[in-house]
Structures are given as C-alpha cells and as structure tokens.
Amino acid sequence: MRKALFLLMTELSSRKWISRLAGKIAKASFSRRWIGTFVRLYGIDPLEAEKAVDEYASLNEFFTRRLAPGARPIDEHPEALVSPVDARIAGMGKIRDGLLINVKGQDYTVEELLNRSPRAVNYRGGFFFVLYLSPADYHRIHSPVAGKLVESEHIPGTVYPVHDFGMRHMRKILSRNERLVTYIRHELGEIAVVKIGAMNVNGIRYADGLSDRLERGGELAMFEFGSTVVLLTQTGTFEPREGLAEGHKVRMGERLGLLRKEL
C-alpha cells in the first residue's frame, strides 16, 4: 500500500509544468535569498564556487555555478577517461549483448537508451557508468575525453525523478525521460554522454560557445538542477579503474579508467 501511494504521488508530481514552474521560481531574483540556506542544508563548500555566494543573482545561477580555478584537477594521463560530473555511481559495468544489466534492479538496452540510433551498435559490448547528481552537486557537465563532437540528439520524454526510489520502482526511467545525447569521437573510438532530464530539472543545455573540438575536462553542458548522466564507451576501448564500485562518489576530472586499443 505504501509503495503504491509513493508511486501515485510520484506519477502526479512528475509533470513538465511543475518543472517549468520550479524553473521560473529558481530563476527569479527573489530566490537568491534562499542560496545561503541551500548551502548550509547541503553542506556545500562556498569556497569552491567561482564567485562569493552573495554575488549570485538567483538560486538557478548558483545551481549552474562555475567552480573556482583549480577546484577540480583533470587527470593528466593521456589515455584517461574522466568523470564528466561530480556524482555518485548509481550503476556501472560491462554492456553485455547490448544490455546495461541490473541498474537499480532493471535492465536497459543500448538501443532504447539511445533512441534507436544507428550508433547504438558501437556500444553493444562496451562499458557503462550511471552517474547521479544530487541537488547539492556541481551541475556543469564536462567532456570525459579530448575529441570531436560528431553528433548530438535531443530526445523528448517524461520527467520522472531519478533518485533511488524512482530508479527502482518506476519503469525504465533512463530510457523514458527526456535526454540530450552527445557522441564524441576520440583517438581510440567513440563515447556517448547521455544527459537525463528529471523532475524539477527545468533545462539541459549545452555550454555557451561550444566548439566541436573538445578538450578533456572542457565544459560541455549543464543541468539546471540535479539529474543523471549515463556514460557509454565503445566496445573494446575501455578498461575501468580498479576499486570503483556502485555507491562511490566521484568528482569531475577524476579518472574512471583508461581508453585502450581493442581489448
């Protein structure tokens, strides 16, 4: 009964007009008065932000803040695949015959996640990370590799919450929610960066002045609230870092593993 009630409440609250309304409030100038409370509530280090807390014009501007120079060192190994975000690993593993297996108790196909893109065949035996950003996390998304942006696709969809309850009990949220997919070609293959929309995420947008030539750790996009990034590597091109596991926190620029020639 309790689960059914939670599912009903989640269904009723996951409407795009609610996310749009939340976005308007967060962008309004009066919302800046909540920034200090937000910082204290989530234990955010204000010294990591590019500007002082009282310099942000709205709560949304603080959500999408840049960090102070040097706050996130980028791993310097020439073959490193780095985390594109500050996040908790909500799932990771080998993609087996096109399946992302047991992501919070559910399996996903690469084809449905990538909206039946012809590029999906490149990832049927690759590796995946599901990276969950809480509202407290840094919200900008960076390129995990140096390479060329070869294609992007916006996929309309729902805005169900991507927290633990939603991922476990709502049907296949990652492939039903709105998504913005970026394909990046690097020296050893290709990766897909799938940015997942969610309840109260009032926008996923690319960084201003984005070039098709990307540096590892360079700005790629941003969420206007917390959400999830799914990172896919091409078959036979990636070796994960030892010791990483579901539940671990990672920071933008931290090495997730190494890109290799055909393994």
CB contact set of 157 (below 8 Å; sequence gap of 6+): 176, 177, 178, 179, 197
- Burial of 67 per CB tally in 10 Å (0-12, 13-18, 19+): middle
Q: Is 142 assigned a catalytic role?
A: yes
Q: Is 164 assigned a catalytic role?
A: no
Q: Is 212 assigned a catalytic role?
A: no
Catalytic residue among 19, 58, 143, 227: 227
Catalytic residue among 139, 142, 163, 186: 142
CA neighbor of 195 nearest in space, from 184, 212, 182: 182
Residue tagged 């695949």 (tokens)? 81
Q: How far apart are CA 175 and CA 112, in angstroms?
A: 6
Task: Locate 154 and state its tokens.
Answer: 């916006």
CA distances from 42 to 36, 46, 139, 167 (A): 10, 11, 14, 22
Catalytic residue among 31, 86, 143, 186: 86
Would you name the residues annotated as active-site residues?
A: 86, 142, 227
